[in-house]
Amino acid sequence: MPPVPSDPPRPEYPRPHFDRSHAWLGLNGSWDFAADPHGTATHDEVARAGHDWPDTITVPFAWETEASGIGVNWLECGWYRRTLTVPADWSGQRVVLHFGAVHHLAAVWVAGVAVGEHEGGYTPFEFDITDALAGRTEATVLVRVLAPVDKREIVHGKQRSIPRDDYDDCAFTPTSGIWQPVWLEVRPATYVSAFALTPGESLNTIVADIGVAGPHAAQARLTVQATGGAPVKTAVGTDGPVRVTLPVAAPRLWSPTEPHLYEVTVTLDSADGTDQVRGSTGLRRIETHGDQLLLNGERLYVRGVLDQGYWPHTGLTAPDDQAFVTDLGLARESGFNLVRKHLKLEDPRFLHHADRLGMLVWAEPASTGTFTAAAAARFEAQIAPMVERDGNHPSIVIWGLYNEEWGLDWDVPGDEAKQDAVRRAYDLLKSLDATRPVVDNSGWTHVATDLVDWHIYDETPAGWAAKVRPLLADGEPGFPVGLGGGNIVRKLVMANGGPAPAVPNLNSEYGGGKTSVERGWNQRWQTQELRRHDVLSGYVWTELYDVEHEFAGIYAFDRALKDSGVSPAAAAHADTVLVVEVEPLAPGRDLVTDGDRKAAFDIRISHHGTAPERIAVAAVWGPALGSAEGLATVHEHGSLTVEPYRLSEPVHISESLPDGVAAARLHLLALSASHGRVMGSTCVDVAVR
């Protein structure tokens, strides 16, 4: 039985980054709905008295979802209707109708007046409906939505298309119609139209770039104030956006361990009245220095996880606000410090919570499915709204663009037009936000990028290592990629075929295994292989939770923890990881002993921190596939000083299998030499041949 959404669903204020919550009215909940399978109905037909509205739909859930109350697939056109009531105390101000996101093409009428259209299923839009209301306090809103079944030339990310995309085997149920909140706001005729916050160069100021629009903008005055700071007053004038620099006394930097935020309030006074908006940001700097990624001047190693932003029963729409907090918490509990929100401009509430919880985010727009001039233009049209909506969030430390040449027909090196499209998107994004690194074409061939990332999947640790080591240890200019059906192609790291530039190197997708136990096994060993290579700046595991038919998650689709047969995922993604010099054979049989029943191998330690650590290495036997909890007989095997971000020298382990058993699990522990605390752990499953 699916959870019942609140009534109305998603009642929280939808855009905390541009907060006018003192003057808003939510429109989520029940709307009249009429399917238009052939897309032939006109506004006049639908708007006439007596028109049949056979269904009600729950907004903001896509019409494919169970939560919407409709549950219909492959419908290309639908109509929504709702009566809205404007509060009486809004009289004399401008009433604005907001949509968080509607897939794909929306046309809107209020009181019979066409107020506008919007194309693009992942970006917000708004219409000033004051003139259409013409003084009424009650009016009917009609919304017509076109959602093409053939999505190849529109942005759709992981939504399934018919005809199919090249990546159809990892596509999911489409999301059509209104799928993010709808609401009204009121503001004066002269108002704050834009609100961008960035940390100052020295991280002791906040720079606010404020847009003002309306008939009395040139004569308006602004007052801007940050938490704990003095208000800064300035005139607006006629020269475009106003830049205000806010000093911050005793600044506290934002980081995953201390996600401190500053709230900024903007008050605009004009002949039309007073407008006020609020937002928050953090003082932090993300930058590259040679082949290192730095956060606030300190080395950052990304321990990321892929998050596709789907939920059972509600699709791309979170069932409630708590769902974002839950997913961010699951990522942290699993040892990750970053979430890659995959091919989706997520609901702003997700970033709101990531800021407050200290979770880093890799944000990226949805992809198209093929390369045409129209498709490339639609893809690029998302970039400016993405930065405008999400740029204030300190949690976002990486912007992504294309992914695996989706929307580029899997052929960047061989086509200059596609290289130009990638370069154009990169240049546009950098012109809008130069404060974050940008990945141009995640995982495959790069054209212009601030980070070199790559995707390699394999079903075994040995196969994985054989693909990864030439790339990281030998500087190979390419790597093998499996496209399904045994089809293997070689992807160049750079479109020109040359070596990778001296920028941070990341894996941004990896994983393998058909069952949860196989995936847990690969997660443990493949992650150890990554930690072997000091040149690497991080990775992104695929993935946090299952989605529909894709059973690759640490958690199931309903967010229940799956049995991986090993210690919690957090052990594989800790600051301190033990790297075992064993080529594992199979889940539950990493190492097979001969008649002497001895398990002998070397281990090394990868430690990420700000200072060297003295670490003791210990081992303890436990039951096959069991945990280390409650085990008492621990054998120490030596200690060593481990330098941060440098793989240690080996420590030799030699242990005899306990008497009377044919298989057991050897737990390996990295203990702080100063206080005995367990800093890292892993295990080796040992069996008699």
pLDDT value for 403: 98
Whether the bond into 543 is cis, omega within 30 of 0: yes
Find how far residue 3's CA is from the centre of its chain: 24
- Indicate the angle between helix axes 321-333 and 348-357, nearest 10 degrees: 40
CATH architecture of 29-180: Sandwich (2.60)
The mean pLDDT of 169-175, rounded to a whole number, is 97
Name the segment(s) of the chain with CATH classification 2.60.120.260: 29-180
Tokens 């894996």 map to which residue? 507
The mean pLDDT of 294-318, rounded to a whole number, is 98
* Sign of the alpha-carbon torsion through 412, 414, 417, 420: positive
Tokens 């149920």 map to which residue? 173
pLDDT value for 633: 78
CA atoms within 13 A of residue 55's CA, in its CB half-sphere = 16
Using H for helix, E for strand and C for coil, what is the string for 335-390? CCCEEEECCECCCHHHHHHHHHHCCEEEEECCCCCCCCHHHHHHHHCCHHHHHHHH
The answer to whether the beta carbons of residues 122 and 345 sit under 8 Å apart is yes
Cα–Cα distance list, 530 to 18, 303, 472, 479, 647 (Å): 40, 11, 9, 15, 11
Whether pTM > 0.85 for this model: the answer is: yes
Residue 486 has pLDDT above 90, yes or no: no
Least reliable range by pLDDT among 250-259, 268-277, 337-346, 487-496: 487-496
324-376: pLDDT as tens digits: 999 999 999 999 999 999 999 999 999 999 999 999 999 999 999 999 999 99
Query: pLDDT over 70 for what percent of the chain?
Result: 99
The phi, psi pair for 178, rounded to 5°, reads -75, 120
Beta bridge partners of 187: 94
Beta bridge partners of 94: 187
Name the segment(s) of the chain with CATH classification 3.20.20.80: 286-573
Considering only residues 631 and 442, tell me which one the structure prediction assigns the higher pLDDT.
442
| 654, 659, 662, 666: CA torsion to nearest 10 | -40
Residue 1 has pLDDT above 70, yes or no: no
pLDDT value for 3: 56
Which residues contact residue 108 at a Cβ distance below 8 angstroms, ignoring those fewer than 6 apart?
97, 114, 115, 116, 117, 127, 141, 142, 143, 144
Got the DSSP string for 569-602? HHHHTSSEEEEE-----BTTBSEEE-TT-EEEEE
The phi, psi pair for 216, rounded to 5°, reads -120, 30
* Structure token digits, residue 369: 């499915």
**DSSP 8-state secondary structure symbol assigned to residue 5:** P
pLDDT value for 485: 75
The mean pLDDT of 471-487, rounded to a whole number, is 87
Residue 2 has pLDDT above 60, yes or no: no
Element (H, E) at 425: helix 416-432
d(CA 132, CA 116): 11
Residue 636 has pLDDT above 80, yes or no: yes
Whether the bond into 104 is cis, omega within 30 of 0: yes
pLDDT value for 5: 67
10-54: pLDDT as tens digits: 999 999 999 999 999 999 999 999 999 999 999 999 999 999 999
Strand, coil or helix: what is 433?
Answer: coil
Helices (runs of H) and strands (runs of E) counted in the chain: 10, 40
Rg of the chain over all Cα atoms, to the nearest angstrom: 27
Tokens 């806010």 map to which residue? 246
The mean pLDDT of 304-329, rounded to a whole number, is 99
For 578-688, CATH number out of 1.10.3720.10, 3.30.70.360, 2.60.40.10, 3.40.50.2300 equals 2.60.40.10
Q: Which CATH class is domain 286-573?
A: alpha beta
The answer to whether the beta carbons of residues 647 and 606 sit under 8 Å apart is yes
CA angle 556, 557, 562 (to 5 degrees): 5
Beta bridge partners of 616: 639, 671
The answer to whether the beta carbons of residues 558 and 584 sit under 8 Å apart is no
* Structure token digits, residue 639: 């200690």
The answer to whether the beta carbons of residues 175 and 64 sit under 8 Å apart is yes
Considering only residues 563 and 5, tell me which one the structure prediction assigns the higher pLDDT.
563
Just give the CATH number of 191-281: 2.60.40.10
Cα–Cα distance list, 621 to 36, 221, 587, 653 (Å): 65, 71, 17, 13
CA atoms within 13 A of residue 585's CA, in its CB half-sphere = 11
- Burial of residue 155, with CB atoms counted within 10 A of its CB: 0-12 exposed, 13-18 middle, 19 or more buried: buried
Considering only residues 489 and 9, tell me which one the structure prediction assigns the higher pLDDT.
9
CA angle 232, 236, 240 (to 5 degrees): 120
CA atoms within 13 A of residue 167's CA, in its CB half-sphere = 24
Using H for helix, E for strand and C for coil, what is the string for 52-71? CCCEEEEECCCCCCCCCCCC
Residue 133 has pLDDT above 90, yes or no: yes
d(CA 440, CA 437): 10
The mean pLDDT of 310-317, rounded to a whole number, is 99
Number of Cβ within a 10 Å radius of residue 591: 17
The mean pLDDT of 441-469, rounded to a whole number, is 97
pLDDT value for 630: 75
Least reliable range by pLDDT among 148-157, 365-374, 488-497, 564-573: 564-573
Residue 4 has pLDDT above 70, yes or no: no
The answer to whether the beta carbons of residues 191 and 214 sit under 8 Å apart is yes
Name the segment(s) of the chain with CATH classification 2.60.40.10: 191-281, 578-688
Residue 419 has pLDDT above 50, yes or no: yes
Name which of 156, 144, 185 is nearest 31 in CA terms.
144
The answer to whether the beta carbons of residues 545 and 554 sit under 8 Å apart is yes
Strand, coil or helix: what is 53?
Answer: coil
Residue 631 has pLDDT above 80, yes or no: no
